Amino acid sequence: MILLPAPKQIAEQEGSLKLNLGTMIVIDGSCPAGTIVYAGTLKDEIREWAGLDLGIIRGASRKGDILLKVDASLADQAYRLEITEHGAVLSGGTNTAVGYAVATLRQIVRQSAGLLPCVEIDDEPMLRARGFYHDATRGRIQTLDNLKKLADTMAFYKLNQLQLNVEHTYLFRGMSELWRDDTPLTAEEIMELDDYCFERGIELVPSLATFGHLYKLLSSRTYERLCELPDSAGRPFSFEDRMALHTVNVSDPDSIKLVKEMITEYMALFRTNKFNICADETFALGKGKSRALADEKGVGTLYVDYICELFDFLKKAGKEPMFWGDIICRHPELAGRIPKDVICLNWGYSPTQREDETRLLAEAGVLQYVCPGACGWNTWVNILSNSYYNVKIMTGYAVKYGAVGMLNTDWGDFGHVNHPVFSVPGLIYGAVFAWNGGALEFEEINKQISELEFTDRSGELLACLKEISDQMRFSWRNVVMLKEHAQKGFPRGELEKLFGEDDMGRVPESNEKLGRMEEQVRLISRSMDSSRRGIAAITLSAIDVMRTFNDVGVFLSRMKDGKAGEGQDGFALAERLENCLYHYKKQWRENSKQSDLERVAEVFYWYADLLRDSSKQTADSIM
């Protein structure tokens, strides 16, 4: 039996509970009204996997029933699940913990249908806060329905906090220039998602860029005057520029005034008392309009003065501030100025991530979450091995240095091109390790996720995805950088570094492996429930894109050597790109708003045009 996260204590017994048409899901009088949501998810799971449409009732249980109850003798996140031949009892210290018991029973039902094994489980999490951070700014803004599906997945694996990264993708009133070319989230959508998450034991926490990463705001004609660096408005859109330099000018009091107005509007949509001001990667701070002030006070002091003013503002509004910790870790001498009730989000995404920052913050007495990553940015299929080992090592540091939570990040640099389904394994890694420390090794947890989440009885799906992600030679980051740097007039030598000889020399082997993986995906899909086979088409689409861009890299490499067209037809390769894009657009629109889809498409168009023009242009004239 697969249970993710694995329970703290489990004792399997002889016998089984046979669900039947007379079985009821009973909500005990100790439960609040909201327990009906958990009862409903259990009813749906049993209908799907056991074929039984059970009723839900309040009151006393009878023999053979499933009873949900709150037991105040248990800790607030602890639950107990007991299945005997005479019925099942699901107890939680709070209503949320009852939901954890329901999630465990749902996993059992998924594997056992209507014949439930007798078992006793006592369980509670290692870390109190176990979150997922989804980028809803840098390319892909998922539809409300899909964000609800994300919340459902989180609840199934007992995660209890969700944050959406927002820079410009909320429909702020009176700020139409900020979001006019996007499809922003609306106040109604945020409030509906907040309700949906709350009903499933998930805290939806607002996360808003307030310092750096304000590209759309500070490159607008209305607000460019507040940008640290001059002449930020009117330039062509750039994925690279969106990641850097657009930091507010802290020497202008209008900057923090505007940010406070945005915070005030946005925080009113959420029931939580937390607010994440982000404040990460303030690359331009002190390099432009605030240089004189930085020379006087120091860049670190400028940074801390600004965020502390926002902390005070939030605390006066009854909020618990959060912020990203990369800048304060560069100025450890100032860490003591961070108030003790502010949560520092300590991020690091390497599979061999060092512990220095976690230790530094702990020694300074700073409250912290560790923040690993789902490792899907700039890639078509998430790099699962990086995510697994990163999550494992960071949650280990959380225990070692007394972090109060874990927030697993899913960034969308350069357009968020990876399909959301490819981030689910990373989400589950975070849930498993944050709950119990995660004793499962990489191959075993991948096998279990393949079986439980994707109903792959072969257990091979994630091993296949891992192999696929390893075959990217002309990476999406380099694809985008080459286009943008060429348009900016970078020297040819700099451009050529983006499709290096070593990587392009490995393309034949990688594309051959992708061909084998394409066949493997089809074979694996035979082992899956029909309702889960959609991932096969999504994966095949990703393989096509990866293989095609690998070939584009080889074509460019030959082109720079004056051998364009040898072994490849530029027109045929351009058509392959456009066919890939056609199917990719369809899949994007199934789960996401338009958002940056056309900007992603423009990258494809640029390369298709370049390939077709290659017969009449030299490498020097194109690059």
- pLDDT per position as a tens digit, 463-500: 999 999 999 999 999 999 999 999 999 998 899 888 87
Q: Is the domain of 26 the same as that of 154?
A: no
Of the listed ranges 306-310, 460-464, 502-506, the one predicted with least confidence: 502-506
Do the domain assignments include residue 4? no
- Give the Cα separation of 196 and 210 in Å (integer): 26
Mean pLDDT of 180-200: 97
Predicted confidence band of residue 353 (pLDDT cuts 50, 70, 90)? very high
- Give the Cα separation of 2 and 6 in Å (integer): 8
Q: What is the pLDDT of residues 611-620, one digit of tens each?
A: 999 866 554 5
Closest CA to 6 of 145, 103, 109: 103
Mean pLDDT of 439-453: 96
Do the domain assignments include residue 595? yes
Q: Which of 123, 145, 179 is the last residue of a domain?
A: 123
Mean pLDDT of 263-269: 98
Mean pLDDT of 404-420: 97
Predicted confidence band of residue 552 (pLDDT cuts 50, 70, 90)? very high
Do the domain assignments include residue 149? yes
Predicted confidence band of residue 563 (pLDDT cuts 50, 70, 90)? low
Q: Is the domain of 615 the same as that of 520?
A: yes
Do the domain assignments include residue 294? yes
Do the domain assignments include residue 477? yes
Do the domain assignments include residue 1? no
Q: Is the domain of 93 the same as that of 140?
A: no
Q: Is the domain of 185 the same as that of 232?
A: yes
- Give the Cα separation of 245 and 231 in Å (integer): 12
Q: Is the domain of 164 the same as that of 295?
A: yes
Tell me what pLDDT residue 568 has.
74
Do the domain assignments include residue 74? yes
Tell me what pLDDT residue 614 has.
82
Tell me what pLDDT residue 272 has.
98
Q: Is the domain of 255 the same as that of 386?
A: yes
**If you average pLDDT over every residue of the chain, what do you get?**
96
Mean pLDDT of 382-395: 98
Boundaries of domain holding 63: 9-123
Q: What is the largest CA-CA distance in the chain?
A: 81
Q: What angle do CA 241, 424, 534 make, to 5 degrees?
A: 105
Pairing of strands 79-84, 87-92: antiparallel
- Give the Cα separation of 473 and 333 in Å (integer): 42
- Give the Cα separation of 383 and 506 in Å (integer): 18
Share of the chain above pLDDT 70, in %: 98
Q: Which of 98, 123, 148 is the last residue of a domain?
A: 123
- Give the Cα separation of 19 and 116 in Å (integer): 8
Tell me what pLDDT residue 473 has.
96
User: What CATH number is associated with residue 365?
Assistant: 3.20.20.80
Tell me what pLDDT residue 617 has.
56
Model confidence, pTM? 0.96
Tell me what pLDDT residue 560 has.
78
Q: Is the domain of 471 the same as that of 340?
A: no
Q: Which of 101, 123, 145 is the last residue of a domain?
A: 123
Q: Is the domain of 491 the same as that of 586?
A: yes
Q: Is the domain of 140 the same as that of 275?
A: yes
User: What CATH number is associated with residue 46?
Assistant: 3.30.379.10
More confident: 615 or 297:
297
Tell me what pLDDT residue 501 has.
74
Total count of domains within the chain:
3
Q: Is the domain of 109 the same as that of 134?
A: no
Q: Is the domain of 146 the same as that of 254?
A: yes
Does position 421 have pLDDT exceeding 60, yes or no? yes
Mean pLDDT of 115-136: 98
64: phi > 0 → left, psi -120 to 50 → alpha, else beta; which? left
Q: Is the domain of 600 the same as that of 470?
A: yes
Kind and range of the H or E run holding 12: strand 9-18
Tell me what pLDDT residue 622 has.
55
By the 8 A CB rule, do 329 and 357 touch? yes
User: Whats the size of the chain, residue-wise?
Assistant: 623
More confident: 566 or 62:
62
Mean pLDDT of 237-247: 93
Do the domain assignments include residue 451? no
